[in-house]
Structure 1
Amino acid sequence: MPLITLIIVLIVVGVLLWLVNTYIPMDSKIKNILNAVVVIGVVLWLLSVFGLLAGISNIHVGKL
């Protein structure tokens, strides 16, 4: 993935999160949870893009 695409995606996600936090009225607890979920998702996506989560697919929880 080209670096410019990565930067554009991060900017778009940041602007969307800012818009949601600014213009959609909701409780501060819900906003904090939403922000945490988005940040964790972006960090996991970045780790996956850079190949640092390649081994995570070998981990299984429970019986399959």
Structure 2
Amino acid sequence: MSLVHLVIVLIVIGVLLWLVNTYIPMDPKIKRILNAVVVIAVVLWLLQVFGVFNSMPDIRVGR
């Protein structure tokens, strides 16, 4: 994955999160939880992209 692609994906994720936080009325606690989940998911994805966290494909949910 090229650096340009990576930056574009991060910008799109940031804009989508900003739109959700700005235009969808939610309780502040739910917004904090949503923001934390998105940040954790993005950090895990970045770690996988850079090869630091390679065990992610081994994690299976369900059958």
Q: Give the TM-score range, shorter chain.
A: 0.7 to 0.9
Runs of at least 5 residues in structure 2 that lack an aligned partner in the other structure: none
Aligned position for 2:20: 20
Farther off after superposition, 35-44 or 48-57: 48-57
Q: Which residue of 2 aligns with 1:6?
A: 6
Q: TM-score, normalised by structure 2?
A: 0.87
Deviations 1:28-63 (A, max 9, x none): 00000000000000000000000001145568xxxx
* TM-superposed deviation, 1:19: 0.1
Larger Rg: 1
Structure 1: 4+ residue segments shifted above 2 A: 55-59
- Aligned with 1:54: secondary structure? coil
- C-alpha distance in 2 between matches for 1:58 and 1:18: 32
User: What's the % identity of the aligned pairs?
Assistant: 73
Q: Which amino acid aligns with 1:45?
A: W
